[in-house]
Amino acid sequence: MIDTDAVPQVRRVVTAIPGPKSAEVLKRRTEATSGGLGMAFPVIVEKAHDAIILDIDGNQIIDLGAGIGVTNVGNSAPRVVERVIAQVQQFTHTNFTTAPYENYIEVCEWLNKNTPGKFAKKSVLVNSGAEAVENAIKIARHFTKRQAIVVFEHAYHGRTNLTMALTAKNMPYKEGFGPFANEVYRVPMPYSYRYEGNLAKITEESLEHIIHKIEKEIGAKNVAAILIEPIQGEGGFIVPPKGFLPGLQKFANENHVLFIADEVQSGFARTGNLFACEDENVVPDMVITAKGIGGGLPLAAVTGRADVMDSSHVGGLGGTYGGNPLACAAALGVFETIEEEKLVDRARLIGGILTARLTEMKNKYSVIGEVRGRGAMQAIELVKAGSKEPNPEAMAKVIKHCQQNGVLILTAGTYGNVIRFLPPLVITEALLNDALDVLDAGFAAL
Ligand code: PLZ
């Protein structure tokens, strides 16, 4: 067992951020690591447990990012740690397509059972969200014998070549990294806060426009798949209006187009359902998962209709590390934690606190233009007071204030003006409220 007492669940700032020890190591970071890597929070981590990160200067930082929506069950969650330790003593690797092992199969069984849809399903395991997206597209094209992929404005699907093509935002994801894969078609995303049509009809108008584009510009019979995040992550936690996802799914089903949900950021209890699609009973043909599935170990999956998942020839899918036994052991610990700690309910409770407190801040501070999201996946969009003009400067100041006071909060958004909240679902209410007090003070200080 890990020594959880070593990381008490309380915020404690004992040096400037970064402290002197972190600053020393960060110099080596600059010397040794690629300049292409960003850094959201400038400290060096010593330990982390649940929702507190302890740095090498002794600062205890509240983690409202969960490693970008990964450690939903908490950092070094006990059930994950125990299972990984047991597995590492058994064997570390064989490659599932060389000599298979049981925990890979158990992870797939859990996914087949617990992702939306009651039909027969199968899964394949890989290493990262981007790799899972790549595999879903491979499978969709192979199954439908069609090539076109429809994606959305503000979408994020990864950093590999195909997934850069699927991702919307140029800076920093795509600039100078082309050429990109072809047969990718982007359609508008109904972004209600910035919608220019008749807001009361946003769902109908958007669906009509998108379907018109697909039929006239691509040809529905050429479309292999529609790929969408049920709540957009990096794009700024854009929640599609009610009826939009079911409408898209209906169009897809009627046209033998596969409907693929990228639940990489929204999955694993995050939104107050196991998967965000469940909110409107949307049943995708394929679901892509990653991040939260492994509790911090690298794992990702594609789960889908058995006929679709079986369409590839033997040997068409694979990879050296996909479904590594340590990552699968971790995933089984994650599934157990979600169930036993009732993390779906906890996400709703956290959601209630976030909505209430962020709305209260919106009423006090005119730079907060909108509070949105669902469950423990919520965000605020910052604008210049009295307008909807993006306000990345205010965002930077507030984030800096939080940083100096030991609160790690991530940003997002096409316009670089969204503060997003992705706390570990095991965060205590006291810790969450303490972090939100710091945020509130950050706005007051603007
Ligand atoms: N699909 C919806 O959110 C990863 C990216 C962090 P990988 N998002 C965090 C960064 O700056 O690189 C993501 C996602 C959605 C796919 C991915 C890609 O997942 O595991 O990072 O490849």
Per-residue pLDDT tens digits for 304-361: 999 999 999 999 999 999 999 999 999 999 999 999 999 999 999 999 999 999 999 9
- Same domain flag for 134 and 236: yes
What is the predicted pLDDT for the residue at 391? 98
In 191-326 the beta strands, taken as DSSP E runs, fall at 223-228, 258-262, 286-289, 300-305
* Angle between helical axes of 102-114 and 325-340 (0-180°, round to 10): 40
When pLDDT is cut at 50, 70 and 90, the band that residue 7 belongs to is very high
- The CB of 262 under 6 Å from ligand 1? The reply is yes
Q: How far is the CA of 69 from the centre of ligand 1 (A)?
A: 9
Query: Do 210 and 93 fall into the same domain?
Result: yes
Residue 84 has pLDDT above 90, yes or no: yes
Contact 223, 140 (CB under 8 A): no
pLDDT surpassing 90 at residue 1: no
Is the pLDDT at 59 greater than 60? The verdict is yes
* 169 ligand 1 Cβ < 6 A: no
Calpha distance 21→10 (Å, rounded): 21
Report strand pairing: 368-374 vs 223-228. unpaired
Atom of ligand 1 nearest to the CA of 266: 2
Q: Which CATH number fits the domain that encloses residue 195?
A: 3.40.640.10
Do residues 47 and 113 both lie within one domain? no
Which of 366, 419, 359, 361 is closest to 388 using CA atoms? 366
> In this structure, are 29 and 176 located in the same domain?
no
Q: Is the CB of 156 under 6 A from ligand 1?
A: yes
- The residue nearest atom 7 of ligand 1, judged by CA position, is 129
196 and 99, same domain (yes or no): yes
Note whether 130 and 164 are same-domain residues.
yes
Domain boundary pick from 340, 373, 403: 340
**Both tokens assigned to 287:** 């679901």
* Closest protein CA for atom 6 of ligand 1: 68
- pLDDT tens profile 389-404: 999 999 999 999 999 9
Q: pTM of the prediction?
A: 0.98
Ligand 1 pocket test, pick from 152, 154, 157, 297 with the greatest ligand atom count within 8 Å of Cβ, gives 157
Report the nearest atom of ligand 1 relative to the CA of 131: 22
Confidence band (pLDDT; 50, 70, 90) for 267? very high
Percent of the chain surpassing pLDDT 90: 99
Q: Which of 39, 134, 264 to mutate to test the pocket of ligand 1 (most atoms within 8 A of CB)?
A: 264
pLDDT, one tens digit per residue, over 170-190 is 999 999 999 999 999 999 999
237 torsion bin: left (phi>0), alpha (psi -120 to 50), beta (else): left
Q: Are residues 97 and 202 in the same domain?
A: yes
Q: Is the CB of 229 under 6 A from ligand 1?
A: yes
- Residue 426, pLDDT score: 98
Q: What is the 3-state secondary structure (H, E, C) of 138-201?
A: HHHHHHHCCCEEEEECCCCCCCCHHHHHHCCCCCCCCCCCCCCCCCEEEECCCCHHHCCCCHHH
Distance (Å) from CA 156 to ligand 1 centroid: 7
Distance between CA atoms of residues 203 and 146, nearest Å: 27
Q: What is the pLDDT of residue 238?
A: 98
CA 99 centroid distance within chain: 31
| Mean pLDDT score, 399-417 | 98
Q: What is the mean pLDDT of the chain?
A: 97
Which ligand 1 atom is the nearest neighbour of the CA of 38?
11
* Amino acid letter for position 268: F
Please indicate whether residue 75, judged by its CB atom, sits closer than 6 Å to ligand 1. Answer: no
Average pLDDT over residues 119-145: 98
The number of domains in the chain is 2
For residue 2, is pLDDT > 60?
no
194 and 268 housed in the same domain: yes
| Domain of residue 421, CATH code | 3.90.1150.10
Q: Which of 163, 265, 411 to mutate to test the pocket of ligand 1 (most atoms within 8 A of CB)?
A: 265
Judgement on whether residues 324 and 421 belong to the same structural domain of the protein: no
- Residue 417's contacts (CB-CB under 8 Å, 6 or more residues apart) are 381, 382, 383, 390, 391, 392, 394, 395
Q: What is the pLDDT of residue 6?
A: 75
Domain of residue 27 covers 4-76+342-444
Mean pLDDT over residues 13-29, rounded?
Answer: 98
pLDDT tens digits, 360-375 = 999 999 999 999 999 9
CB proximity list for 264: less than 8 A, separation 6 or greater: 69, 129, 132, 133, 229, 233, 288, 289, 290, 291, 300
Between the CA of 157 and the centroid of ligand 1 the distance, in Å, is 6
Out of 340, 357, 375, pick the residue that ends a domain: 340
Distance 38 CA to ligand 1 centre (A): 14
Residues 255 and 276 in one domain: yes
Report whether residue 173 contacts ligand 1, using a CB cutoff of 6 Å.
no
Residue 233 and residue 127 share a domain:
yes
- 413: which DSSP letter? -
List the residue whose alpha carbon is closest to atom 5 of ligand 1. 158
Mean of the pLDDT values across residues 221-243?
98
Whether the CB-CB separation of 18 and 42 falls below 8 Å is answered with yes
State residue 70's pLDDT score: 98
Element (H, E) at 373: strand 368-374
Per-residue model confidence (pLDDT) at position 170: 98
Residues 95 and 40 in one domain: no
Mean local confidence (pLDDT), 188-199: 98
pLDDT in the model for residue 4: 55
> Is there a cis peptide before residue 18, judged by omega within 30 degrees of 0?
yes
Letter string b/e over residues 65-88, b meaning 16 or more CB atoms within 10 A of that residue's CB: bbbbbbbbbbbbbbbbbebbeebe
The last residue of one of the domains, among 315, 340, 365, is 340
